[in-house]
Amino acid sequence: MNKARGAALIMMVILMTMAMIGYLVQRGHGYRGLIEERQSQRALNEAHDALLGWAIRQSRFGEFPCPDLDDNGVAQSTCPATHNTVVGRLPWKSLNMPANRDGGDNRLWYALSEDFSNNSSITLDQSHNGQLDLDGATVLAVVIAPGRPLNGQTSRPSNQAGDYTEDDNADNDNRFVSSANGAFNDKVRAITVAELFSGSFAGSGMGSGMGSGMGSGMGSGMGSGM
């Protein structure tokens, strides 16, 4: 083998090794993304069921706990509202559930319609759909797994939604989205008045849908990379 041929062979081996390494790294990232996505979905499902389980047990049927505004796990005793919406974190201690985190190791965010908070004393029935909008549909609450920080979200930990959520989820009004153009990795799970009154969610102790986990809930937004 002459020198030129030997050098070409070595170069080919180096290129093939680099290509193989690149493939394995990419595959590893894809696998990590899948694990994170599943963890986020699990956390959203647990939060969804815990919130509904709480609401059906209240003396005022359908009242949900206030979001946690200071990240101590405990619901605020009063729900300060903006645009008929209360935005904060999931009050996991008040819900008597483990501290669940999404695939990016964040606590979940939680937004609630004012009618279903303790700001209101109206008797809730199926004519009250809530005051939040998720992808154009009316819902009574949303839970959001914020995912890893994206560009500009450099101030974590904080109690500002914009450090965790993106696009229409970050502006503290009553409209939320499960997808958006540009940088966006929020995973959103809705809670609807139909679910509240059907009791068809895991652990509800009522209805016929127990144990279903409701994994296909509207607006889950799962499927894109974290």
Query: Considering the complex, what minimum distance in angstroms separates the CB of residue 140 from Ca ion?
Result: 16
Query: Considering the complex, what minimum distance in angstroms separates the CB of residue 67 from Ca ion?
Result: 8
* Amino acid found at 18: M
Nearest to 148 by CA among 167, 173, 166: 166
- DSSP assignment letter at 155: -
Nearer to Ca ion by Cβ, of 131 and 185: the residue is: 185
CB within 8 Å of 43: residues ≥ 6 apart: 100, 101, 102, 103, 108, 145
Nearer to Ca ion by Cβ, of 132 and 202: the residue is: 132
Query: Considering the complex, what minimum distance in angstroms separates the CB of residue 69 from Ca ion?
Result: 6
Are β-strands 175-176 and 85-89 bridged in parallel, bridged antiparallel, or unpaired? Answer: unpaired
Stretch that binds Ca ion, among 30-38, 62-70, 112-120, 135-143 (CB under 5 A): 62-70
Residues 124-183 touching Ca ion, rule: CB under 5 A, are: 146-147, 168, 171, 173, 175
- CA 119 to chain CA centroid, nearest Å: 24
Site membership for Ca ion, residue 70 (CB under 5 A): yes
Nearer to Ca ion by Cβ, of 186 and 195: the residue is: 186
Query: Considering the complex, what minimum distance in angstroms separates the CB of residue 188 from Ca ion?
Result: 10
Site membership for Ca ion, residue 186 (CB under 5 A): yes
- Report helix, strand or coil for 111: strand
Q: Buried b / exposed e across 204-218, counting CB within 10 Å, b at 16+? A: beeeeeeeebbeebb
- Beta partners for 179? none
Site membership for Ca ion, residue 105 (CB under 5 A): no
Query: Considering the complex, what minimum distance in angstroms separates the CB of residue 162 from Ca ion?
Result: 10
Nearer to Ca ion by Cβ, of 13 and 183: the residue is: 183
User: Contact, 89 vs 67, CB < 8 A?
Assistant: yes
Task: Enumerate binding residues for Ca ion (CB under 5 A).
Answer: 68, 70, 72, 74, 146-147, 168, 171, 173, 175, 185-186
